[in-house]
């Protein structure tokens, strides 16, 4: 049995034909990568359940499941750093979601543009 502290509780309105394709973690989540649509810059990784994916597809705003707070959150609702979704794709295994977005301001909760600029790890050591 997975960690029930992070399991979403709300029933999903995701289209059954999409839901049937998804391969989720034991706690019902999919990693969701946000990428700037025009530059290819990788911005962040969040987690989605079926309902978060449904909300993202229907509202055009990046919507995620917070594993720590156990609630849905829409990117930018509190920070003003909104993600306008341009496209959503599943990877070949249907276990990861790629959101191509127009990110307004910072994507990272630290205030940085991307979550992946905190330090490059050395190769070949």
What tens-digit pLDDT sequence spans the chain (125 residues)? 344 444 566 678 999 999 999 999 999 999 999 999 999 999 999 999 999 999 999 999 999 999 999 999 999 998 899 999 999 999 999 999 999 999 999 999 889 999 998 788 899 97
Residues linked to residue 70 through DSSP beta bridges, in sequence order: none
Distance in Å from the first CA to the final CA of the chain: 38
Q: Strand, coil or helix: what is 16?
A: helix
Residues linked to residue 117 through DSSP beta bridges, in sequence order: none
Distance in angstroms (rounded) separating the CA atoms of residues 75 and 102: 12
Residues linked to residue 61 through DSSP beta bridges, in sequence order: 84
Number of H helices, E strands in the chain: 2, 6
Its sign, for the CA torsion 22, 3, 109, 76, is positive
Radius of gyration of the chain (CA): 15
């Amino acid at each position: 049995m997975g960690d029930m502290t992070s399991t979403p509780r709300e029933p999903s309105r995701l289209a059954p034909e999409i839901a049937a394709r998804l391969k989720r973690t034991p706690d019902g989540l999919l990693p969701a990568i946000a990428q700037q649509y025009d530059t290819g810059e990788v911005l962040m990784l969040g987690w989605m359940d079926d309902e978060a994916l449904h909300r993202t597809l229907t509202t055009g705003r990046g919507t995620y499941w917070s594993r720590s707070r156990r609630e849905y959150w829409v990117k930018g609702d509190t920070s003003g750093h909104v993600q306008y979704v341009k496209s959503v794709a599943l990877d070949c295994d249907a276990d990861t979601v790629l959101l191509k977005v127009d990110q307004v301001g910072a994507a990272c909760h630290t205030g940085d543009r991307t979550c992946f600029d905190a330090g490059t790890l050395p190769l070949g050591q």
